Chain A
């Protein structure tokens, strides 16, 4: 069989790190080839080299058997290589057609009509069901992604690279995307799928190249390789997928959110009439696609954003208008969505970061004077207990730690506060499987101590793995709360898209 793309012995170094070390990737014509690796393994670097964004220090790229030099994305496009980026590159106020022909307008006078006709034909051919005249800002994220795909097809791409395409999609949209990929292969195109999600690879890919820490681990035939085997290859050791969990013993409500209404930055209601309770000894997971009001909800509970109306109660006491510090002291721990922005002061040492919520009170200070030895000991204890690894211990600047260690430090700090309620937002985003396992275990431990956990995640696996109850959020509204044991991914997926269970049952 002929290889449509060959990247042979690619090496790429960045200052202080070898991102790709002798990686070989061979993609056959008409296959879906997955590239599997943890974050930071070097997948994106490899694809950026293929797409002309970076130059390989060593190695050869062949397209359809011929050696080529790809100096820019334009070269890549000319060779029939297209890339669907994680972050869409669309003009929000333009129509689908306008976005697709952008940069390929042809003659001076725009011929929208014939372009629209061709787009319609392509859309039908690959089952994309796109209306060429829709304006981008009025269509869903899933549809926007299809516009990106159409853009590639319109430019006669033969090889399509998908960079983590499912991160922004609902389960149903993911299924549809996979069907689209199969359609493309059927039409003779080749697909490269970059992901760290095993079930997607299992569902759609033919072969899979696995990368670990910049090195190629192997190429496997997906049909005959188990997920556990692939995960082990990716991480370098066997992995536990499920967290061992005892049955829930829920107590009194710790957090009560009553008819809460919150505005987003554009002063548009982002959380609408939201009511939810989290009880002691349970984990409630909020499922939903990114951008459906989860961030605003959490910010209103933690005090970072004012609530327009409604109430937030902690242990029965209203904290709706309390300051952030009052809420912290009342017993809220918060693992924030963006650890770099909110979670840590990157330019400060780890030690200071570990007491950033407690520095002002004994035993860490007295009469406004810090007690450095006590602070250092506390920070060291957290690092020991939560296995936070860093070059210079508690003196390391927080920014010098790896993402996983940063997150473990934040989790450790919040757990050390022993809060009655811990709010964990995307607690494992971008972490490797080992760190995910560890943080999940700690959250369940917290619940088992009789504390409450509110988990917000865009990963359904994580929600199902940890939650006792699942609250589904769509466009700022609570669709329903269901017990994890009595539901399944499909039902929750439908609710994430805004369909109520009762309607679906009908």
Chain B
């Protein structure tokens, strides 16, 4: 048997070390870490409604994580998921207010519009990168702010709520992604149809990356663009496509957040989930299934931290610190892979020695 280092072991090691670090922090501020963690997990999981909220948080994280992971497979760092979320969410909000269709058609339209909005916000940095070699990190950050200020203008001008200037008017509940039967199962909360879209997206992206010529090209460009170029793959075209799809996925995340989790869009707020998605992608090793699992985990931390704060004197920032520490440990994952490798080697050596010894014995006998 061989112990082999892999992404899963690394992620689990990072999570455990992150939790331990969080525990030490709780100790340092004079709290009981066991109590803290108890309420942190309890807050995310203690009843169906809480589980529903954990899932609802995870939906958005999953789609953003998928967006970042997808771009990363093509060697691009999409730091603009927040802006793509805003634009996708704005498009979805417009659809929710103005398009009235039978439910299946309505869902199709809102998905397409949100995807298109995010894709537009992603494809612009993609084009700039392909055409003028503008670094996508710079371009996507700029696009974040363009989205931020566009929403700032658009919402008060066209979607003004009855009382508040700072957010759009609420979407009618039947025009959101929430679904009565789902809400009933989970006993209320924010759970919505987005979970099915997110899971579908995970498997579609997995299929595209593993089984299609498009995925083959995208991965080739991401792993070695010089070799891809040599082989006749159009590198720039793939950069543009990758950013477009990544943007579209983040746009869907915006839809699930603004028309599912919440029912309006606020101005002057850059959605922090757009950046948390980077963490999700990192912990998930840019693998779609990994993204699914790590989004659920982070979703649990996010939705449990309020409860922890209410029940103990541990501030919610501790949960954010744990997340940050986990990211730190994931980023230094090379250490873990060495650790697991050396463990594997030691084990192998021991086994070899045993085998030799038994062979000798057999020889002597």
Contacts and interface: CB of A to CB of B under 8 A. Distances in A.
| Most chain B Cβ neighbours within 10 Å, of A325, A344, A346, A359 | A359
B226 A341 contact: yes
Contacts of A319: none
Contacts of B216: 352, 359-360, 370
B213 A360 contact: yes
A53 interface: no
A370 B227 CA distance: 19
Contacts of A325: 232-234
B356 to A, nearest CB: 19
A130 B38 CA distance: 79
Interface stretch (B15-23, B217-225, B293-301, B308-316): B217-225
Given A342-B226, A347-B223, A370 B211 contact: yes
Size category of the A interface is: 20 to 34
Interface in B193-218: 211-214, 216-217
Contacts of B212: 368-370
B227 to A, nearest CB: 5
Given A323-B232, A356-B220, A345 B227 contact: yes
B230 A304 contact: yes
A341 B223 CA distance: 11
A39 interface: no
Nearest to B214: A368
Contacts of A315: none
B232 A357 contact: yes
Contacts of B223: 345-348
B227 A304 contact: no
B76 to A, nearest CB: 16
A368 B213 contact: yes
A323 to B, nearest CB: 7
B213 A343 contact: no
A399 to B, nearest CB: 10
A328 interface: yes
A345 B224 contact: yes
Interface in B293-335: none
A277 B228 CA distance: 28
A356 B213 contact: no
Interface in A299-343: 302, 304, 323-328, 334, 336, 341-343
Nearest to A375: B216
Given A345-B223, A348-B223, A359-B216, A328 B232 contact: yes
A324 B214 contact: no
A306 to B, nearest CB: 13
Contact of A369 (B211, B220, B224, B227): B211
| Most chain A Cβ neighbours within 10 Å, of B214, B217, B228, B232 | B232
A347 B223 CA distance: 7
A465 interface: no
B352 interface: no
| Most chain A Cβ neighbours within 10 Å, of B213, B226, B228, B230 | B230
B165 interface: no
Contacts of B229: 304, 324, 342
B230 A342 contact: yes
Contacts of A344: 224, 227
B231 interface: yes
B334 to A, nearest CB: 13
A365 interface: yes
Contacts of B214: 368
B226 A356 contact: no
| Most chain A Cβ neighbours within 10 Å, of B226, B228, B231 | B231
Contacts of B217: 360
A346 B220 CA distance: 10
Contacts of B233: 325, 356
Given A365-B213, A369-B212, A343 B230 contact: yes
Nearest to A366: B213
Given A323-B232, A328-B232, A370-B216, A356 B211 contact: no
A345 B213 contact: no
| Most chain A Cβ neighbours within 10 Å, of B212, B213, B220, B229 | B213
A124 B213 CA distance: 65
A324 B224 contact: no
A334 B213 contact: no
Contacts of A324: 229-232
A304 B233 CA distance: 11
Given A368-B213, A369-B213, A370-B212, A334 B220 contact: no
B232 to A, nearest CB: 3
A334 B227 CA distance: 12
A327 B230 CA distance: 11
Contacts of B213: 359-360, 365, 368-370
Contacts of A365: 213
Interface in A58-97: none
A345 B214 CA distance: 16
A323 B229 CA distance: 10
A360 B234 CA distance: 12
A345 B216 CA distance: 11
Contacts of A327: 232
Interface in A410-424: none
Contacts of B226: 341-342
B230 A345 contact: no
Contacts of A357: 231-232
A374 to B, nearest CB: 13
A291 B219 CA distance: 32
A349 to B, nearest CB: 11
A334 B230 contact: yes
Nearest to B207: A369
Nearest to B219: A348
B133 to A, nearest CB: 14
Contact of A345 (B211, B220, B232, B234): B220
| Most chain A Cβ neighbours within 10 Å, of B212, B214, B216 | B216
A414 to B, nearest CB: 11
A357 B228 CA distance: 9
Contact of B220 (A302, A336, A348): A348
Nearest to A339: B227
Interface string B217-255: 101100110111111111000000000000000000000
B227 A343 contact: yes
Contacts of B219: 348
Contacts of A336: 230
A42 B211 CA distance: 42
B176 to A, nearest CB: 35
23 contacts: A302-B230, A304-B229, A323-B232, A324-B230, A328-B231, A336-B230, A342-B227, A343-B227, A343-B230, A344-B227, A345-B227, A347-B223, A348-B219, A348-B224, A352-B220, A356-B220, A356-B228, A356-B233, A357-B232, A365-B213, A368-B212, A368-B213, A369-B213
Interface of B: 211-214, 216-217, 219-220, 223-224, 226-234
Shortest 3 CB-CB contacts between residues of A and residues of B:
A325-B232, A324-B232, A356-B231
Given A342-B229, A369-B212, 9 more contacts: A304-B229, A323-B232, A324-B232, A347-B224, A348-B219, A360-B217, A368-B212, A369-B213, A372-B211
